[in-house]
Copies of this chain bind each other. A is one copy, B any other.
């Protein structure tokens, strides 16, 4: 059995609990939290400990699955965890990946540990599609569309506006853009042409809805460059119709092998639950990290470095007999 620890119990930590509980070759030693231990009740009934107790578990956990956020949590903490543990995380600030990689790789190699960074679906499975598709169809162009799905960052941005009680924002790929890309046009698409943003907002009583709508639509970076629609709804309606953290998207590569022949490659995900699926991906990579560590590997790996067979729950060296 592979012994894992789960650090953090938000949406993603909950997803990892559910995924590890389903995996027959994985045993969860416990969930580690910075909150009061008694306040955390994992859906799977796992033991809960304070993160301060982690040093006591050195040697008793094969892989720590880190479920903190990329903005501040992972950059501040992973370097510390990887000194004592093999780790898997979902660091997703694309621009800062090289810096994050270099820092952790050095520490992991010094300490004889192994980490997988930026695991999930983007970065993660979508990145795998980009490198695979780009390598087998070099004369082409890549497109990544996200959605329809809930963007936590955009939802949070709306919630910070005065007079907003609650909000959910969906990123929606534009049908016309998808059609042009799938038609092999290889168009240059602006930000506005690729995605629109749909907002469901619960306003406080007596709030100025026109002002809220204007503030959303003009918010730089988040909304100003997009076609944005704003719907004011009740808290009940939000809970009833917009409580799933659905997401997904598609990576499309369109290109030519010769002037006459076009080829279209697509990988798409349609997810009812972004955190549950991401938790399931992290769990498969925890298995891979365990196996690679047993083979003597140290340092930091990404999805580009890890052979697919190591994700497979059964004997990795037998996978080709049935799945190839």
Contacts and interface: CB of A to CB of B under 8 A. Distances in A.
**Total copies of the chain:** 2
A270 B280 contact: no
Interface of A: 15, 18-19, 22-23, 94, 97-98, 101, 118, 123, 125, 127-132, 134-139, 244, 257-258, 260-273, 276-277, 279-281, 284, 287, 302-309, 311-313, 316, 319-321, 323-324
A264 B257 CA distance: 29
B304 A309 contact: yes
A131 B263 contact: no
B302 A320 contact: yes
A258 B162 CA distance: 36
A311 B263 contact: no
Given A127-B323, A131-B308, A260-B272, 14 more contacts: A15-B257, A18-B257, A23-B138, A128-B132, A135-B311, A137-B277, A244-B261, A257-B276, A257-B279, A257-B280, A261-B273, A267-B267, A302-B324, A303-B324
Given A131-B311, A139-B22, A304-B308, A264 B269 contact: yes
Contact of A123 (B257, B260, B324): B324
Contacts of A98: 320-321
B306 A307 contact: yes
Going nearest first, the 5 A-B pairs with the smallest beta carbon separation are: A257-B276, A135-B311, A261-B272, A261-B273, A304-B309
A233 to B, nearest CB: 22
A276 B137 CA distance: 10
A18 B316 CA distance: 34
A135 B313 contact: yes
Nearest to A122: B324
